[in-house]
Structure 1
Amino acid sequence: MPPPAIAATSAAHLVSPESLAAAGRAAERLSLPALQSKMKCDPEGYAAELLLLRRHFDSSLHLFRHHSALNPSSSASDHAVAKEVGDLAMFLAHVAPFYPDKLADFPSQVADLLRSDARSLPSSLRVHLAQALILLVNRKIAEHGDTLELFMDLQTLGDRTLRKLAFSHVVHSIRRMNQKHKNEPMNRKLQNILFSILQGEEELRAKRSLTVLCDLHRRKVWFDDRTANGICAACFHPSSRIMIAALSFLLGYEQVEEEDESEASSSEDDTAEPSQVILSREAIYKAHHKGTTASKKKKKAKLQRAVRSMKRQQKIASQNNSSNYYSPLTYLKDPQGFAEKLFSRLQKCNERFEVRMMMLKVISRTIGLHRLILLNFYPFLQRYVQPHQRDVTTLLAAAVQACHDMVPPDAVEPLFKQIVNQFVHDRSRTEAIAVGLNVVREICLRMPLLMNEDLLQDLVLYKKSHEKAVSTAARSLITLFREGTHPVSSDEEKVKEDELLRGEKRKLSDFIGQLNAADVSLRALKRVAGSQRARNLPNETDGILSNEDFQHIKELMAKKDAKLSMAREGLSAKGSDSRIKIPSSEQLSVKRVDPAKLEVNIKRKRTSEEKLAAVKAGREERGKYQARTAVKQKKTGGLSNRQKEHKKSMPFAAKRAKAVRSRQERKKKQRHSGKNFLGKKAWK
């Protein structure tokens, strides 16, 4: 180990003219970036300088540790040494690919330094060492699996810059690794590391691990059932913060899908691209044949960005248009055990109301999605089914979500009756009645056997209510039971079926009579066979359609579309066969119940802030206040002569004469007011 005097010298002094002259080169003073570029061009020629700088890095690091041990408080010399160590670490990381043998132990040295002394190092030195290690991992000099746990630990040090750097490195390195094809062995190895950290008792490390897993799952890098089950298992972590984070992520998939803006922001293209990209033939021709080499290169790059933007837009559009539903809860390996375990934790926990509601929504979503049977869940909901309950619509939406056709009606009937008794009665408010009727409709859509005849007759009477929300909810319930849940064939259809059956019997008897009469002569038998052949001719030609048949099909389709549009607008005639389309049980289990849909058509009283906002919104188009004369004149030029007279500066005598004259005119008007004065007569 060199003495401290030698260790204190800077890297610039080591790359001095004397050292270069001793190496047989011209004397020149080089900085680290200049030396780095020269070493990349001629690695073998600068091997001696590399050894000098490596020794200097070791001695500077030893000196820094010695000063830190003697004087824990920071000083100017320590900061200078720390900056020098960081610069040397970045320099060695940049030239490491050109000296694989001489710098083979450098990645492990940097990693061990961060593992052992990361908390005691200054923030700037920590960041420089982390950047050097990231550079070595990106150059594939260090293994990503060996450094993943280290980067997860660096996120828990409380350094915001270092946390963002380590997190972005972990996420983007895994994305790059799976960009062309899935590297399953490495993915499984990294997932095992993150799962072990997530299951540990250290809250900060587990929280960062969950954040990485959620981000990779949201970006569809680790979009498999293994990652989904790992995130769902975080709901049972002893720490409530991690449980809340996992529940929030699971409920985030249940929201209405919006355009993923983070995918565009995290892409490698940092340029802002237009929403609609049009590629013209002229632009493509200019990019390849017009201009200088530099300008053509820029045009080609612009075209490539435009093509990538178009592909990204097509991908987003296809994802938005696709009806494939996905949620991490879909890929649970043991959904029944997950729901029971989370429900038992809900019964025992003392968390705040918002957290319990999140747990309640996840349980109900799991029950509805996998059509589970959890009989204790419905009596638990009965405690909160009251009109004055906080977030009661969210609670009722969870109750609806937990109902499906596999649950026995006896288990849900007490909850169903309590909803009807608490919400739907004459003394209840309009909002409560409307919400109650909507909830009854949604539950009966999933479990129609809960409704009996007497209750349905009582609920149907609300269709005559003067409140629009109540009458609409009651009519929707009537429509459900009239057309959707219990479709009954009409009497006319039965009559038609009987007539058809009788017609078939009559035709059969006539044919038998004709056969009996055909025994008389052979000519009659030929006539019967000919009539039967003529009767069967249309059936043989059913496969060939003429132009008239196609025209008739178009007319029928047009009539059908017209009926559907009229029924959609409420203009269908009475007796039409337009019926609502009832989704199947599988579609209902996948569909998320929106609490806002239970409050449709409810008009609440506006607050004073909302009224004031509406008033201000109505004033936006109003112009600035002006006098009526100014509005009438609408002059855009200068002032008139009369307006200029008011601004003239007159002498005092003229002002007094004008005042006297105006006073005399006023008296004259008052004297002749009320008389038909036509002026003085010229004669007497």
Structure 2
Amino acid sequence: MPRGILLTSNLPQLQNLIKRDPKAYKEEFLQQWNHYNTIRQIFHLNPEEQANHFRELTSFITQLVQCYPEETAEFPAQLSTLLMLNYQILPPDIRRSLVQNLAMLRGRNVISSVTLLQTLFPLLPRTTSTSLRTFIRETILSDMKLANARAKNHKLNRVIQSMLFGMVERGMDLDFVGDKGKTKTASDSNFRPSGQDAMWAVVLTKELWQKSIWNDAKSVAIMALACFHPVVKVQRASIHFFLGSDQGDDETGASDDEATLPPYSRILSLNNPTMLQHRREINKKTRSGNRKLERQIKKVNKKRAEKSSSQLVNFPALQLLHDPQTFGERLYENLGRYEKKLSLDHKIIIMQLLSRVMGSHKLCILGFYTYVVRYITHHQLSIPSILAALAQSVHELTPPDALEPVIRKIAQEFIHPGVGSEVIVAGLNTIREICRRQPWAMNEDLLGDLVSYRKSRDKTVVATARGLLQLFREVNPGMLKRRERGKEASMGHTKEAHSQPFGHNTKAADNIDGLVLLEDHLRFLRTENLEEAEDEQAWDNWFIESDPDSSSDESGWINVESDESNKFEISDSDNEMAGGEPGFARSDQHERSSTRVSSLATAKILTPADFALINDLKIKAATAVIEKMNGTVTKRKLAALEANKKHVVADSDFISENDILGPRKKVKADYAARVASIEKGREDREAFGSNKGKKKKGVPSSSTNKEKARNKPFMMVMSSGAVRGKKRASLKEKQQRLRRHIDRAKRSR
């Protein structure tokens, strides 16, 4: 009897014994199980009474559920019900213990993923503890990742996606409250539980997408619905998902990383090392503070580097939109409806998303150009982002009539002598990007005025104006004056008919540029790669028991004679590119093959890898031509091909603010940078003095003062006393100077 009392009072020891022999200690476990049911009923009435003992009992039973599955069949449901109904009144340690117990039950396959996630998802918006919220978030993500590790668990994904969709949809009937002139936080009246549910649904969907756990259209549908949520924070987070940026993830409150930072880092922006350094100079100087500052600056710089190297636009998500036209029209409708309630920053990100949807899906929402005209002024805040969004929305199907007022407004506001060179460069770059997509939006008179800026004194303005001139030499030289077209553009304009109007295309596609190079390259690989040819021959006559005189064998196979002219190949040139340098076409082959038309497209499906290989072959051929003849036109074509290669690799036509701002002048270096440059220039240099006279003379010696005076520029000595004295000299002084000169000449002879 004393031994039984000892076991029941020492739960860890009893737990160890039960795991070793469950049958022998079943009575002791049932005793604890009955005690748990009694404590649970008391705990429902008063959660603060015997809370520690209740936590120990639940942890004890969680460890032994697998030993007694029939007796503890209702235990997981009891924990879930307790969390769902009494979560707000439970003590913090009890909350964490119950969540951990549920996660442990899922790890031992006692409950399913659906049961666990249906309990944890509603807890996220209600949790105020940062550590517990982080644990729930990581538990959800790890469980979803494990469920979709080997193959997509479509049943679970559908259940969870429906749950997240419902979390977003429940708050769609809220009253819209904008963010203009206000700083909203998670405690604001507008950020009600329904708004928090939608926010967490957006955050979890975004993380599951980024971890490649979800990549289907249903996830995109959840984020697309959240773009029209009445809570601005939810809108911002979902819009940033399509924009491909990480902003808006901390909208649910303080981030988990922020809680571990020093106090001054929490006050300031985490993305501004300069402000952190300034704050550090104000505060008390300590070694620990310096180390914390260095770690924080390294962390911020690392995040910036990862953000710059990552993909800027989430193009896969944009392509998976169900109804892009309706989506774009609703975005434009929100811009006009809530014009006075939204801040400028929020309106700009809506413009960016709308422009990228229009550009990627070739949409025509003509009201957007009328709306954006009101913001086109050089003193407008964040004008580079607005201009980038404007240029991004244009494509070849955009009507030129809708773009002419926009281009005219940009020219009037940005391109005139009354503004700085940076403003002119931004305006010219914007017009160039618009005309690159729709050349017919420009008229001849305005184009002539813009091209004339290539004679400016500012180098950046000259380079930008020349870029616009070169663009129209390629796309529509007929709009340029004859003396501005250039040799190549003038010859092409005289040979071919003038450019067709918008929407017209009378010339049928008869060939693909560079396809002949690809055909020669593939033929070279087939002739050189003997092993591949032997493998193909090994498949001939692979059936041994067939009758050679019969066209079919006993198993029903029919021998069909292959016709080389009707052979249809489907291949990927990634493996063909592995052939190395010999596979590239030579320049002489390119010259001979440029006069014929290839029929490869009729016998082979060209993949994106084939087009990338065609571009590489064209670069190789142009490089070989440059080695033979150093021509400016060939160099320009090579630069265009290399730029096209970068464009293919990026697989996006994204315009950033840097494309609008153009090249900038070098920023003046600070004192530390100037000192570093001076020290670098002093390397491998002897101190004090010059070695000019010692190295260049036959007899090493320094230069004399007379030599230095003789070699001085006249502008430096014209105001000296000696020169001015000669001008004021009298006739007698001039005669004496001449006599002394003659005497010196006689003595020297």
Does the TM-score normalized on the shorter chain lie above 0.5?
yes
Is 1:448 aligned to residue 506 of structure 2? no
SS at match of 2:128: coil
TM-superposed deviation, 1:617: 5.3
Q: C-alpha offsets along residues 273-292 of structure 1, whole Å, 9 cap, x if unaligned?
A: xxxxxxxxxxxxxxxxxxxx
Q: Distance in 2 between matches of 1:469 and 1:41?
A: 80
TM-superposed deviation, 1:603: 1.8
Aligned partner of 1:168 among 117, 134, 138 = 138
Q: Distance in 1 between matches of 2:204 and 2:446?
A: 52
TM-superposed deviation, 1:425: 1.6
Partner of 2:200: 208
| Residues 568 and 224 of structure 1, relative CA distance in 2, 3 Å threshold | farther
Q: Distance in 1 between matches of 2:527 and 2:70?
A: 84
SS at match of 2:631: coil
Preserved CA contact (<8 Å) 1:229 1:332: yes
Q: TM-score, normalised by structure 1?
A: 0.63
TM-superposed deviation, 1:99: 0.9
2:123 alignment partner AA: L
Is 1:439 aligned to residue 440 of structure 2? no
Q: Distance in 1 between matches of 2:666 and 2:377?
A: 19
Aligned partner of 1:236 among 228, 231, 234 = 228
Partner of 2:337: 348
Partner of 2:80: 111
Partner of 1:247: 239
Partner of 2:406: 415
Q: Distance in 2 between matches of 1:123 and 1:142?
A: 24
Q: C-alpha offsets along residues 556-615 of structure 1, whole Å, 9 cap, x if unaligned?
A: 48998688569999x95356584335969x989941101112222222765xxx634534
Partner of 2:663: 601
Q: Distance in 1 between matches of 2:71 and 2:584?
A: 86
1:364 alignment partner AA: S
Once superposed, what is the RMSD of the aligned Cα atoms? 4.0
Partner of 1:51: 30
SS at match of 2:69: coil
Q: C-alpha offsets along residues 21-70 of structure 1, whole Å, 9 cap, x if unaligned?
A: xxxxxx778733332232222111111111111122222333444445xx
Q: TM-score, normalised by structure 2?
A: 0.58
1:151 alignment partner AA: L
TM-superposed deviation, 1:97: 1.2
1:150 alignment partner AA: T
Preserved CA contact (<8 Å) 1:563 1:578: no
2:654 alignment partner AA: R
Preserved CA contact (<8 Å) 1:378 1:415: yes
SS at match of 2:200: helix
| Residues 583 and 229 of structure 1, relative CA distance in 2, 3 Å threshold | farther
Partner of 1:277: none
Partner of 1:191: 161
Q: Distance in 1 between matches of 2:312 and 2:352?
A: 23
Preserved CA contact (<8 Å) 1:434 1:602: no
Q: Distance in 2 between matches of 1:494 and 1:252?
A: 46
Partner of 1:474: 465
Preserved CA contact (<8 Å) 1:253 1:327: no
TM-superposed deviation, 1:619: 8.1
Preserved CA contact (<8 Å) 2:378 2:414: yes
Q: Distance in 1 between matches of 2:226 and 2:441?
A: 37
Aligned partner of 2:631 among 573, 579, 592 = 573
Aligned partner of 2:97 among 124, 128, 131 = 128
Q: C-alpha offsets along residues 352-403 of structure 1, whole Å, 9 cap, x if unaligned?
A: 1111111111111111111101010001010011111111111000000111
Q: Distance in 2 between matches of 1:103 and 1:200?
A: 35
Preserved CA contact (<8 Å) 1:368 1:589: no
* 1:553-572 correspondence runs (5 A): 554=586, 556=588, 564=622, 572=630
2:144 alignment partner AA: I
Q: Distance in 1 between matches of 2:200 and 2:110?
A: 26
Aligned partner of 2:371 among 380, 396, 400 = 380
2:239 alignment partner AA: L
Preserved CA contact (<8 Å) 2:453 2:462: yes
2:146 alignment partner AA: R
TM-superposed deviation, 1:552: 13
Preserved CA contact (<8 Å) 2:208 2:214: yes
Q: Distance in 2 between matches of 1:191 and 1:596?
A: 38
Q: Distance in 2 between matches of 1:551 and 1:40?
A: 67
Is 1:326 aligned to residue 311 of structure 2? no
2:164 alignment partner AA: L
SS at match of 1:215: helix
1:429 alignment partner AA: G
* 1:243-322 correspondence runs (5 A): 243-252=235-244
Partner of 1:258: none
TM-superposed deviation, 1:182: 0.9
Partner of 1:87: 56
Preserved CA contact (<8 Å) 1:93 1:132: yes
Preserved CA contact (<8 Å) 1:234 1:242: yes
Q: C-alpha offsets along residues 246-276 of structure 1, whole Å, 9 cap, x if unaligned?
A: 1122222599xxxxxxxxx9xxxxxxxxxxx
Preserved CA contact (<8 Å) 1:404 1:589: no
Aligned partner of 2:385 among 374, 379, 394 = 394
TM-superposed deviation, 1:452: 2.5
TM-superposed deviation, 1:82: 1.4
Q: Distance in 2 between matches of 1:619 and 1:321?
A: 36
1:133 alignment partner AA: L
Query: Could you list the runs of 5+ residues in structure 1 that have no partner in the other structure?
Result: 1-15, 21-26, 69-73, 256-264, 266-319, 496-542, 629-684
Aligned partner of 1:34 among 4, 13, 38 = 13
Q: C-alpha offsets along residues 522-557 of structure 1, whole Å, 9 cap, x if unaligned?
A: xxxxxxxxxxxxxxxxxxxxx99999xx99974648
Is 1:426 aligned to residue 395 of structure 2? no
The sequence identity of aligned pairs, in percent, is 28
Partner of 1:526: none
SS at match of 2:670: helix
Q: Distance in 2 between matches of 1:127 and 1:575?
A: 70
TM-superposed deviation, 1:467: 0.8
Q: Distance in 2 between matches of 1:566 and 1:469?
A: 32
Q: Distance in 2 between matches of 1:590 and 1:334?
A: 21
1:443 alignment partner AA: I
| Structure with greater Cα Rg | 1
SS at match of 1:132: helix
| Residues 551 and 43 of structure 1, relative CA distance in 2, 3 Å threshold | closer
Q: Distance in 1 between matches of 2:220 and 2:584?
A: 54
Preserved CA contact (<8 Å) 2:626 2:635: no
Preserved CA contact (<8 Å) 2:227 2:235: yes
SS at match of 1:382: helix
Query: Could you list the runs of 5+ residues in structure 2 that have no partner in the other structure?
Result: 172-193, 248-256, 258-308, 478-487, 497-522, 529-581, 592-617, 688-749
Q: Distance in 2 between matches of 1:450 and 1:250?
A: 29
| Residues 172 and 620 of structure 1, relative CA distance in 2, 3 Å threshold | farther
TM-superposed deviation, 1:214: 1.1
Q: Distance in 2 between matches of 1:189 and 1:492?
A: 62
1:50 alignment partner AA: F
